[in-house]
Amino acid sequence: MKTIKDYDVKGKKVILRCDFNVPMIDGKISDDTRIKASLKTINYLIDNDAKIIILSHLGKVKTKQDKKSNSLYQVYLKLKELLNTNVYFSKNTTGIKLEEYVSNLKEKEVLLVENTRYEDIDDKKESQCDMKLSKYWARLGDIFINDAYGTLHRKHASNVGVCMLLPNGIGFLVEEELNKIDSFLNENTNPFVVIMGGKKVSDKIKVIDNLILKCDKLLIGGAMSFTFLYSKGFKVNKEYVELEQLDYCKNLLTKYKDKIILPLDFKVSTSLEDTTYLTKDIENIEINDKAYDIGSKTIDLFKDNLNNAKRVLINGPMGVFENKLYEEGTKEIYQYLTDNNIKTLIGGGDSASSVNKLGFENKFYHVSTGGGATLEYLEGKGLPGLRVINR
């Protein structure tokens, strides 16, 4: 696959697709990890005298009000602060004013274009990969570089359409993410243990199907375990049981009965507002009990199964880690893995935030910045954003 390094970018207009889809609270950026993660590629382009035109989406844009709340203006201010060069902001995603910015751009200068999804107001042109829009944007540049790892699973005009029309390659962030995940998955060190949690089985069936073949053990926690437990006849919080997945879970449990490990106990309560909880064995859980975290027997069971693991892949937290009362399961597992220096890859949007929230930044082999993209990559099928990159 071609990368940014395969091109001489001096004096060239480089269209750089970034993932600036950052979380915003009250009009301010609440976590700038994604912006900082893009700096390596942007600075490389600055150092190599390119004229840099950045495209990114932010949130969903369906109404005029969405335009206001999802403007990239705050990202522009942040870039100005972080980059040691002139940074401009085009409020328009198409049109004469944008074109003027582009033609006035000098070497080493950066132009951030407003949220590409502003074009979704008009027939979802960006999200549906409208080729007229793609051609328009492609005409603004000479080379296209995709560094928007978190968007690789989408087929948008700004990451797939434009890419098809220009000489192209991937940026450093995408390259690093793929290298980390590929080398982890292809390394034949065993036991390889997969831990899955979070909410829905249905979101993750293809990931499970792919990884179950590769791993030695699959530990299932979180609300995801409820459908598996229910399929074995246990009572669990029905809210999270996916009846249409019962057969899938039953079959998987039969086929891989020695590989799959399910929880033995949970911390249960009546609701998240209730500040008390009880730890109950799975046999004693009643129909109205809400299980918000795995219990201590389960934590021990999972640790036993991680005991001699060489590689661990985690997708999905063990409980409602956002709530202090129910962070223990997820935290204890992370602690065990770091204490024992077990090579751990973590993927999934909420899983990545749990790592930060629980104080484990920079403690693991890799925490992927892309939620959906990493999940789709782990499914073992190609990603739309990568399929169109020059070989």
Question: Which residues are near ligand ADP by CB under 6 A?
Answer: 197-199, 222-223, 291-292, 315-317, 319-320, 322, 348-351, 371
Q: If you ran DSSP here, which 8-state letter would residue 23 be given?
A: -
What residues have CB less than 8 Å from 367, skipping those under 6 apart? 346, 347, 351, 352, 355, 361
349 part of the active site: yes
Shortest Å distance, C-beta 198 to ligand ADP: 2
Beta bridge partner(s), residue 88: 111
Q: Among ligand ADP, Mg ion, none, what binds residue 248 when CB lies within 5 to 8 Å by partner kind?
A: none
Nearer to ligand ADP, 209 or 322 (CB): 322
Shortest Å distance, C-beta 151 to ligand ADP: 16
CA atoms of 320 and 199, how far apart (whole Å): 10
Nearer to Mg ion, 162 or 313 (CB): 313
- 3-state DSSP assignment of residue 220: strand
Note whether 177 and 149 are within 8 A (CB). Answer: yes
CA atoms of 261 and 62, how far apart (whole Å): 43
Give the CA count within 13 Å in the CB-facing half-sphere of 174.
Answer: 29
- 3-state DSSP assignment of residue 93: coil
* Burial label, 297 (beta-carbon count in 10 A; 0-12, 13-18, 19+): middle
Nearer to ligand ADP, 93 or 315 (CB): 315
200 part of the active site: yes
CA atoms of 162 and 146, how far apart (whole Å): 10
Task: Name which of 290, 247, 300, 248 is nearest 269 in CA terms.
Answer: 290
34 part of the active site: yes
Q: Among ligand ADP, Mg ion, none, what binds residue 263 when CB lies within 5 to 8 Å by partner kind?
A: none
How far, CA to CA in Å, does 241 sit from each of 235, 248, 249?
A: 10, 12, 11
Torsion on CA atoms 64, 68, 71, 73, rounded to nearest 10:
140
Shortest Å distance, C-beta 280 to ligand ADP: 13
Shortest Å distance, C-beta 240 to Mg ion: 14
CA atoms of 66 and 354, how far apart (whole Å): 28
- The catalytic residue among 13, 34, 125, 204 is 34
Q: How far apart are the first and last CA of the chain?
A: 4
Shortest Å distance, C-beta 203 to Mg ion: 8
Q: Among Mg ion, ligand ADP, none, what binds residue 351 when CB lies within 5 to 8 Å by partner kind?
A: ligand ADP
Nearer to Mg ion, 19 or 350 (CB): 350
Shortest Å distance, C-beta 283 to ligand ADP: 18
Nearer to Mg ion, 122 or 322 (CB): 322
Name the residue with the smallest CB distance to Mg ion: 350
Q: Among Mg ion, ligand ADP, none, what binds residue 100 when CB lies within 5 to 8 Å by partner kind?
A: none
How far, CA to CA in Å, does 308 sit from each of 1, 189, 191, 305?
A: 36, 11, 7, 8
Contact residues for Mg ion, defined by CB under 5 A:
349-350
Shortest Å distance, C-beta 358 to ligand ADP: 12
Q: Among ligand ADP, Mg ion, none, what binds residue 222 when CB lies within 5 to 8 Å by partner kind?
A: ligand ADP
DSSP secondary structure string, 256-313? Answer: TTTTEE--SEEEEES-SS----EEEEGGG--TT-EEEEE-HHHHHHHHHHHTT-SEEE
- The catalytic residue among 40, 67, 297, 372 is 372
Nearer to Mg ion, 144 or 364 (CB): 364
Question: Which tokens go with 31?
Answer: 């976590």
- The catalytic residue among 349, 357, 363, 380 is 349
Q: Among Mg ion, ligand ADP, none, what binds residue 46 when CB lies within 5 to 8 Å by partner kind?
A: none
Q: Among ligand ADP, Mg ion, none, what binds residue 297 when CB lies within 5 to 8 Å by partner kind?
A: none
- The catalytic residue among 200, 280, 297, 303 is 200
Nearer to ligand ADP, 42 or 312 (CB): 312
Catalytic residue numbers read 34, 200, 349, 372
